Amino acid sequence: MTHAISRKTYLFTFLGLLGLTLSTTLLGFVDMGPFNMIAAVGIAACKACLIAAFFMHALIEAKVIRVVLTGGVIWFLILISFTLSDYISRSW
Amino acid sequence: MANPIALLLREQYSTPVQQRETSKLGMWIFIMTEIMLFGGLFLAFSVYRMSFPQAFVKGSADMSIVLGSINTAVLICSSFTMALAVYSAETGNRRMLTVFLIATMILGLVFLGIKFTEYYQHYLQHEAPAVWFDHTGPDSGHLEMFFVLYFLMTGLHAVHMLVGEGILTAMVIRNHRGSFSADYYTPVEISGLYWHFVDIIWVFLFAIFYVEGLHLHKL
Amino acid sequence: MSTAVETRPALNYLNQETGIRSWLFTLDHKRIGLLYVASITFFFFIGSFYALLMRLSLLEPNGWLFGPGTYNKLFSMHGIIMVWFFLIPSIPTTLGNFFIPMMIGAKDVAFPKLNLLSWYIFMVGGLTTLFAMIHGGVDTGWTFYTPFSTSYSTTWVTTAALGIFIAGFGSILTGLNFIATIHRMRAPGMTWFRLPVFIWSQYATSIILVLATPVLAITLLMIGVERIFQVGIFDPALGGDPVLFQHMFWFYSHPAVYIMILPAMAVISEIIPTFSRKPLFGYEFVVYASMMIAALGFLVWGHHMFVAGQSLYSALTFSFLSYLVAVPSAIKVFNWSATMYKGSVSWDTPMLYAIGFIGLFTVGGMTGLFLAAMGIDVHVTDTYFVVAHFHYIMVGGAVMGYLGGVHYFWPKITGKMYPEGLAKLSALIVFLGFNLTFFPQFILGYMGMPRRYAAYAPEFHTLNVMSTAGASILGIGYLLPLAYFIWAWKYGADAGPNPWRATGLEWQTSSPPPRDNFEETPVVTRPAYDFGGMKEELHLG
C-alpha cells in the first residue's frame, strides 16, 4: 500500500508548526498596537492550514470534504463579519 | 479469520471504500459543526476585544506566556504523534499504533495538567470570575469579561480534550483486541481528525489570549 | 424493474420483529421515523394546548383566565415546544428519515446507530424542557432575550435552555446523517440531477441544521453559564452587550425558519407533480432555489433587530438581503403553479394541502416582505402583524406541508388507506380555521395591538373573538386526522404499493416496505417525475 503523505512530510509539518509557534511568541514582545493581534491570528491561520492540509489529509481527500471544510470556514466568517460590521458602523 | 473485511462491512453499505469514505465525510461534517460551535465564542471574543481593547490587552498581560507556549508545543507534538499513529495503522503496524496512541494521550494529559496549573494561578491572583474575582479600577468589569471568556473558551476546549482522551482510550483497547489492520483502520483515522481539530482550536486560543499583552510582560 | 408486489406483503418492517424492545433499539430508519412521529405528535398537542389556553384567555379584553405572569409562561412554552420540539424536527426526522434512504435506493441511512442516538437525545432534551415547564415554566418567550433571561427572570430558564441545548445535538446529528447519506448512499444511476426535489430540499435543510444549530447551542450555553455562575457575558454591568445575544440567537433562529419551511416545500414538490401527472416544471430551478434559500437564509438575520439598536448601515444591508430571499421562494411558487398548468389535476387530500400551502405560504412570504422593509417594520414590530406573518409561514406553511406529507406517504408507511372523504373535510376545516385564526391578527397588528400581552384595548375585541373562534375550528381540524389515522392504522383498506401512481423509487417497493426497503438494490435509469416513461412501462407491461 502506498502512502499519499510520507513520514518526512509529517516531520516537516511538525517542525514548521513549532517554528510558527516560536515566531508567535517572539513577535508578541514587539509592541505593534492592534497589529499584534492581527499577526498572531494570521500566524495561527497558517498553522491551522498546515495541520488541516497535512495532518488531516485535507489536500488529498475527496473534493466534497474540502467543500465541507471551506464551507465551515466561510460560514464562520459570515457570522463574524456580519456581526462585526454592525458594531463597526454604529454611530452610537 | 474467514473474511475480516466482510465482517467489518456494515449492512447498509455495499463496499468497504463506500463505508470508509462515508465515515470520513461524517467526521468532517461534525468538524464543521464544531467550527460553528467555537465560532460563537470567537465572535463574542471579537466583539468585546473590539469594544474594550485596553482591558483585553491588560488581561492578556496576566497570562503566563511560558506555560502557554510550552502547552502549544506539547499539543503540536501530540498532533505529530497522532499523525504517526494513523500512519502506523495505515501500514498495519499494530504495535507502533499502540505506542503512538499512548504517546498522544500522555501529551494530551500533560497539556491538561499545565492548563489546570494555569487555572490555579489565575485563581490565586483573584482572576477567577464567579469564584474569586477581585480587581478594582475603571476597567475591572471589562477585565472580568476577558477572564469570563478565557475560562469559558479554554474550558470548552479542555472538555473537548477530555473527550479526545476517551476516544483514544477506546482506540487503544480496540487495537489491543486486534480490530484494526491495514485494510480497516477508519476509526483511528477519524479519531485523528478530531484530535487535530481540537489542536487547531487551541492554536487560535493561544493566539488571541496570550500574545497581545506580551510586550507589557514582566516575565 | 422487478414486478411490483400487489398486495400487502406478509413480512415487512412493521412485523418482522415485535415487542417494545424491537422499537426502542431499532436501527431501521423507518421505525426511527415512526418513533419521531409519535414523539412530535405528543409535543404538538402539548404546544397546541398552551395556544388554546392563550386564545381562550384573550376572548375578553381583560384576559379573564390568566394574569400577566401566567400568560407570559403560556406563550413562552407554546413557542419553545412548537419551535424546537415540533417544527424543527417535524418533517426531516419523520418523513425525511423514512423516505430519504428509500428515495435514493439505499438500505438505510449512513449511520443508523447515530440515527437512533439522535432520537434519544431529542427525547432527553424534550423531557428536560417539559420537566422545566411542569415545575414552574419559563416566562422569557421562546427567544430568551437577555438581559431579562439572564439577570431578571426567576423562572426555570436554565433547565429549559438545557433541554433545547441537548435537543440541538439531536438536530445536528440528524443533519449530519442525512448529508452523508445523500452524498454516499445513492443507488447506482441515481445521479444528483435525478434526485427527487424532496431529497434536494432535505439536503438544503440538513446543511442549515449543521451550520446553524451549533451557534444556538453555544448561545444557550452562554446563557446557562451566565445564570449558573452569575457572571456576565451579555450583562451591561461588565460591558456586555445584549444585542450580541440577539445577533447570535438570530444567526440560528432565522435560518431555523428555513429548517421548517424547506422540508414542507420538499413535500409539496412531490405531491404536485404526482397529482398533476406532469414532471415538476423547471426541476433545476427548483433545486437551485432550495440551495439559494439555504444560503441566503444565513445573510438576513438582522431584520429581526431593526429596532434593537443595530447600526443603520447593517439594518439597510440586512433589509436588502431579506428582499433577495423572496426571489428563490417566488421561483418555487411559480414552478409549482406551472406544474399544475395544463396537468390532469386530481383533488385528493394531499393535493388539497399542497394547494393550501401555496396560498398560505404566499401570504406569509408577501407579509415577510412588508416586515423586511424597515419603515413598515418599525411600525409593526412586536405587534400581532408579526405573529400573523410567522404563523402563516410556520402553521400555514410548515404544518400544512407536514399534514399533506403524512397523508401522501401514509399508504406507503402503513400499507393502509385513510378515509378520503373525512380527510378532505378535515383539510378544509384546517384551511378555514387557520385563516379565521390568523388573518384577523394581521389587522389587529396593523391597528397596533402588541404581542405578548395578557390583556388588550376594548376596540380589538371583535377581531380577537374571531381569532379564538378560528383557533377552536383549527383544533378540530387537527384532532380529526389524529383520530382517523389511528383508525386507518388498523382498519384502513389495503393501499397497494403505488396508490398515487407516483414515479419515485419509494413507490416501486411494497407497502409497507420490507426491512431492507428493496428486494434488490434498484438501478436508476430515468430522471425524477418521469410520468411519460412510466406510462410507457405500464403500456408495455
CATH of the domain at B169: 1.20.120.80
Residue of chain C whose Cα is closest to the Cα of B21: C184
Q: How many Cα atoms within 13 Å fall on the side-chain side of residue A68?
A: 27
Q: Cell numbers 460551535 correspond to what residue? A: B37
Q: Is residue C90 part of a domain?
A: yes
Mutation target vs A (from C247, C296, C318; most A CBs, 10 A cutoff)? C247
pLDDT digits (tens, 9 = 90+) for C52-90: 999 999 999 998 999 999 999 999 999 999 999 999 999
Instruction: Flag if C314 and A85 touch (Cβ within 8 Å).
Output: yes
pLDDT digits (tens, 9 = 90+) for B155-194: 999 999 999 999 999 999 999 999 999 999 999 999 999 9
CA–CA separation, C345 and C252 (whole Å): 39
Instruction: Flag if C302 and A78 touch (Cβ within 8 Å).
Output: no
Are B158 and B150 in contact by the 8 Å Cβ rule? The answer is: no
Contacts of C24 (CB under 8 A, 6+ apart): none
Instruction: Flag if C214 and B44 touch (Cβ within 8 Å).
Output: no
Residue C163 in grid coordinates: 433541554
Q: Does the pLDDT at position B101 exceed 60?
A: yes
Q: What percent of chain A has pLDDT over 70?
A: 95
Are B126 and B217 in contact by the 8 Å Cβ rule? The answer is: no
To the nearest whole angstrom, how far is the Cα of A29 from the nearest Cα of chain C?
28
Residue of chain B whose Cα is closest to the Cα of A88: B50
Q: Does the pLDDT at position A2 exceed 90?
A: no
Residue of chain B whose Cα is closest to the Cα of C209: B33
Q: Looking at the complex, does the CB of residue B210 fall below 8 Å from at least one CB of chain C?
A: no
CA C306 from chain centre, in angstroms, equals 26
To the nearest whole angstrom, how far is the Cα of A59 from the nearest Cα of chain B?
13
CATH code at position C114: 1.20.210.10
Ranges of residues in chain C whose predicted pLDDT is under 70: 1-7, 535-541
Q: Is residue C21 part of a domain?
A: no
The letter for the amino acid at C408 is: Y
Which pLDDT score, from 0 to 100, does residue B2 have?
42
Residue B71 in grid coordinates: 502547552
Q: How many Cα atoms within 13 Å fall on the side-chain side of residue C495?
A: 30
Judging contacts by C-beta atoms under 8 Å, the chain C residues touching residue B149 are: 233
In sequence order, the β-bridge partners of residue C199 are: none
- B200 exposure class (CB count in 10 Å sphere: 0-12, 13-18, 19+): buried
CA C204 from chain centre, in angstroms, equals 14
Which pLDDT score, from 0 to 100, does residue B218 have?
55
Judging contacts by C-beta atoms under 8 Å, the chain B residues touching residue A62 are: 21, 25
Q: Is residue C238 part of a domain?
A: yes
Which pLDDT score, from 0 to 100, does residue C231 have?
87
Count of residues in chain A: 92
Instruction: Flag if B145 and C233 touch (Cβ within 8 Å).
Output: yes
For residue C420, how many other CB atoms are within 10 A of its CB?
12
Of A75, A82, A92, the CB nearest to C211: A75
Which pLDDT score, from 0 to 100, does residue C3 have?
45
Q: Is residue B11 part of a domain?
A: no
Nearest of B198, B24, A2 to residue C184 by alpha carbon: B24
In sequence order, the β-bridge partners of residue B127 are: B133
Instruction: Flag if C213 and B142 touch (Cβ within 8 Å).
Output: no
Q: Looking at the complex, does the CB of residue B44 fall below 8 Å from at least one CB of chain C?
A: yes
Q: Looking at the complex, does the CB of residue B14 fall below 8 Å from at least one CB of chain C?
A: yes
Q: Does the pLDDT at position A38 exceed 90?
A: yes
Q: Is residue B88 part of a domain?
A: yes
- Domain housing C64: 26-540
To the nearest whole angstrom, how far is the Cα of B100 from the nearest Cα of chain A?
13
Q: What subunits touch chain B, counting only 3 or more CB pairs under 8 A? A: A, C
Q: What percent of chain B has pLDDT over 70?
A: 95
Compute φ and ψ for C107, nearest 5 degrees: -80, -30
Q: What subunits touch chain C, counting only 3 or more CB pairs under 8 A? A: A, B
Average pLDDT, chain B: 92
Are C541 and C38 in contact by the 8 Å Cβ rule? The answer is: no
Nearest of C302, C36, C179 to residue A68 by alpha carbon: C179
Instruction: Flag if B26 and C213 touch (Cβ within 8 Å).
Output: no
To the nearest whole angstrom, how far is the Cα of B196 from the nearest Cα of chain C?
20
Which pLDDT score, from 0 to 100, does residue B15 have?
87
Judging contacts by C-beta atoms under 8 Å, the chain C residues touching residue B21 are: 184
Which pLDDT score, from 0 to 100, does residue B1 have?
39
Average pLDDT, chain A: 92
- Domain housing B177: 17-216
Determine the angle formed by the axes of helices C157-184 and C112-135, rounding to 10 degrees. 160
Peptide bond into C236 cis (omega under 30): no
To the nearest whole angstrom, how far is the Cα of A85 from the nearest Cα of chain C?
7
For residue C520, how many other CB atoms are within 10 A of its CB?
7
To the nearest whole angstrom, how far is the Cα of B92 from the nearest Cα of chain A?
10
Q: Is residue B119 part of a domain?
A: yes
C189: left (phi over 0), alpha (psi -120 to 50) or beta: left
Q: Is residue B32 part of a domain?
A: yes
- C473 exposure class (CB count in 10 Å sphere: 0-12, 13-18, 19+): middle
Q: Looking at the complex, does the CB of residue C106 fall below 8 Å from at least one CB of chain B?
A: yes
pLDDT digits (tens, 9 = 90+) for C390-421: 999 999 999 999 999 999 999 999 999 999 99
Judging contacts by C-beta atoms under 8 Å, the chain B residues touching residue A5 are: 87
Judging contacts by C-beta atoms under 8 Å, the chain B residues touching residue C106 are: 12
Q: How many structural domains does chain C have?
A: 1
Instruction: Flag if B26 and C180 touch (Cβ within 8 Å).
Output: yes
Judging contacts by C-beta atoms under 8 Å, the chain B residues touching residue C521 are: 14
Q: Would you call B91 helix, strand, or coil by DSSP?
A: coil
Task: Give whole-number Cα distances, C445 to C329, C389, C452, C456, in Å.
Answer: 25, 10, 12, 12
Q: Does the pLDDT at position B34 exceed 90?
A: yes
Q: Is residue B118 part of a domain?
A: yes
Q: How many structural domains does chain B have?
A: 1
Instruction: Flag if A86 and C310 touch (Cβ within 8 Å).
Output: yes
Are C338 and C282 in contact by the 8 Å Cβ rule? The answer is: yes
Peptide bond into C512 cis (omega under 30): yes
Instruction: Flag if B65 and A28 touch (Cβ within 8 Å).
Output: yes
Judging contacts by C-beta atoms under 8 Å, the chain A residues touching residue B79 are: 14, 17, 51, 55
Q: Is residue B122 part of a domain?
A: yes
Instruction: Flag if A72 and B214 touch (Cβ within 8 Å).
Output: no
Which pLDDT score, from 0 to 100, does residue A5 have?
84
Of B25, B130, B141, the CB nearest to C230: B130
Q: Is residue B2 part of a domain?
A: no
Which pLDDT score, from 0 to 100, does residue C346 have?
94
Judging contacts by C-beta atoms under 8 Å, the chain A residues touching residue B194 are: none
Task: Give whole-number Cα distances, C478 to B80, C48, C50, C403, C423, in Å.
Answer: 59, 10, 15, 9, 11
Which pLDDT score, from 0 to 100, does residue C483 have?
97
CA–CA separation, C116 and B211 (whole Å): 45
To the nearest whole angstrom, how far is the Cα of B219 from the nearest Cα of chain C?
29
Which pLDDT score, from 0 to 100, does residue C7 have?
67
Residue C310 in grid coordinates: 443595530
Judging contacts by C-beta atoms under 8 Å, the chain A residues touching residue C299 are: 78, 82
